[in-house]
Amino acid sequence: MSTILFRVFRNNSYPVIRSCSAQSLTSNICRQRYSSFPLTSAPYRFGNWENGGGVFHISADIDPSAIIETGAIVHSSAIIASDVCIGSGSIIGPSVYIGCSTSIGYNVKLSNCSVGSSCVIHHGASIGQDGFGFFVSEGIVTKKPQLLHVKIGSNVEIGANTCIDRGSWRDTTIGDDSKIDNLVQIGHNVAIGCSCIICGQVGIAGSATLGDYVTLGGRAMVRDHVSIASKVRIAANSGVTRSIVEPGGDYGGFPAVPIREWRRWIAYTHKINMEISEK
């Protein structure tokens, strides 16, 4: 037996908690059983999910096979498909969609986003928060509206403590089968194609576009509003400051140039340094 808790706040007074039992595992039955309670008088209608012990809002649409572990919270109007597992401490915000067989780790925060099927999101990832965008005029800094979403395809893996910002003028998108390492920052409006590999500590600035099968080495940086063609590989610690329009090819350095040119420059610089040190 689960317990549904109704919190009623009136005039900043101490909340009155009413409880009643429910046998239902699904939110649809919850809505039928408690439809007589208007939302205006009971805005916080949460219950304990029997398959794991987490907390859910009764307006959420959750498949009975989903696991919501103790300490996790699913907010109103979220949609959780079959065989989803949500780890302890995770927060699934309002109207978030999670596709079937997706695994959500501990302390993950999802808002303003949809996640495809068979995805893995590791501990501490944060997806769907506002992007970093401001208007600056005569010394006054004003926040730009960040009102769109993050759309994540199927079979995507997102590493621990990675952050993906919601869009402002277009949705932030991650294509099917892409793999993202730990501690990656993906700015607002970024579009990442299918089967991309993004290694740890990469930073992708807002409105950048990556084609399919792009690989970014560790700590690589991509400037805002640039495009990288499909099947391009960027070496670790490189900085992409202008668009790469030719598909394929390897690039490295700062600013990133074709890899052979970068290696020649490194060899030449080393030679000059050796000559200076011998004098």
> What are the extents of the domains in the chain?
111-278
Whether 261 has a pLDDT exceeding 90, the answer reads: yes
Distance CA 184, CA 175 (A): 16
CATH class of 111-278: mainly beta
Helical (H) or strand (E) element with 117: none
**Mean pLDDT for all residues in the chain:** 87
pLDDT at 21: 35
Show the CA angle centred on residue 254, arms to residues 248 and 256, nearest 5°.
Answer: 15
Q: How many CB atoms lie within 10 A of CB 277?
A: 7
Helical (H) or strand (E) element with 185: strand 185-186
C-alpha closest to that of 31 among 99, 42, 51: 42
pLDDT class of 212 with cuts at 50, 70, 90: very high
Annotated catalytic residues are 188
Whether 23 has a pLDDT exceeding 50, the answer reads: no
pLDDT at 43: 56
pLDDT at 124: 98
Distance CA 193, CA 177 (A): 9
| Cα radius of gyration rounded to whole Å, the chain | 24
pLDDT class of 275 with cuts at 50, 70, 90: confident
pLDDT at 260: 94
pLDDT class of 16 with cuts at 50, 70, 90: very low
Q: What is the mean pLDDT of residues 81-104?
A: 97
pLDDT at 19: 34
